[in-house]
Structure 1
Amino acid sequence: MFVHLHLHTEFSLVDSLIRVESPARKSAGANVQNLTGFAAKLGLPAIAVTDQDNLFAMVKFYKLAEAAGIKPIIGADIAMPESGDGEQAENVTLLVQNDSGYRNLTRLLSRAYNEGQGRGRPRIHRAWIEAASDGLIALSGRDGEIGRALLAGKIEHARGLTDWWGRHFPDRLYLEITRCGRRDDDSHLRAAVSFA
């Protein structure tokens, strides 16, 4: 069974064109579907929306998913400050597991907008996650610090990073694998599978 756990919508402004709701039909014969209608057509049992740094699509997505008979999974892609000079921000996907997780994710995102602005994007600091990881599931992919360490062949560094994440997300940390035709996707896939 396949379930998308990392999907951006039009609310990830520079990253996606996927609409949560269908645009107004221009002609009577137009074949336009919304995200959950398309997911239902594919027979997906569940789908996650994980827009960048926000939950703007959540209410519409949740209602449409339930109406289509699909389990809605709420989450967000977050950015964390660079760990070293010249390194890119770490991107991690947080998925809501329960009510406590939803409250923690909304607090983290609000704090990022109020206190964590950096390089044009809100960022969540590690200390904030240490205090607010309950009820959240973490997905660390190719653009996360673990993924970058694996791509660089720094296995011991990846183990140390995994230990930190595992302490704060016990039994709730997963290595994310994606195939989007990007350079190094296959290299990351092999490294992540071997590491896991």
Structure 2
Amino acid sequence: MPFVHLHTHSEYSLLDGANRIPDLLDRVRALGMDSLAITDHGNLHGAWSFYAEAKARKIRPILGFEAYLAFGSRHSREKPAPDVPLGSPYSHLVLLATNKVGYQNLIKLSSIGFLEGYYRRPRIDKEVLEQHREGIVALAACLSGEIAL
């Protein structure tokens, strides 16, 4: 049965990923997989090299990132309320592009996170996600995702 990792961090996820993209793709190929998603924390810094390296190896690249989703507004710099899980001002949400429009929306979301929502991390909120949702699939992420919390 085919298997694809849809939540993988690379060297572009500081303090969380140590995989270099070429090495990761070589391992994916060695395991007989034909696709892979890279979902680095809050950014698309490795997207271009991942896409080019994957295509060269005939592996289908799935572009995405693990977004930091603010519990309230991305503009808020308030300390989290005492009832906020883990005392964090954000949860995690994996976003994957399903087409070119989705990739363009991922670029917008990542940029907005850095330019408008940066507080400890590049955060987005549900308002901006609603505006740029076309062509994107969202996954529950990890134990820091809103569903798990």
Displacement after TM superposition at 1:38 (Å)? 1.1
Q: Which has the higher strand share?
A: 2
Aligned to 1:45: 34
Aligned to 1:139: 139
Instruction: Return the letter of the residue paired with 2:41.
Output: Q
Instruction: Return the letter of the residue paired with 1:35.
Output: L
Segments of structure 1 that go 5 or more residues without pairing to the other structure are: 22-33, 149-196
The 2-side partners of 1:58 and 1:80 are apart by 20
For 1:50-129, what aligned pairs fall within 5 Å after superposition? 50-82=39-71, 85-86=81-82, 87=84, 88=88, 89-118=90-119, 120-129=120-129
The 2-side partners of 1:134 and 1:51 are apart by 20
The 2-side partners of 1:97 and 1:56 are apart by 18
TM-score (norm 2): 0.85
The 2-side partners of 1:51 and 1:144 are apart by 15
Identity of aligned residues (%): 36
* Count of equivalent residues: 135
The 2-side partners of 1:92 and 1:128 are apart by 14
The 1-side partners of 2:81 and 2:131 are apart by 26
Q: Secondary structure at the match of 1:44?
A: coil
Highest RCO, 1 vs 2 (Cα 8 Å, sep ≥ 6): 2
Q: CA RMSD in A?
A: 1.3
Instruction: Return the letter of the residue paired with 1:55.
Output: L
Instruction: Return the letter of the residue paired with 1:85.
Output: A
Moved over 4 A (4+): none
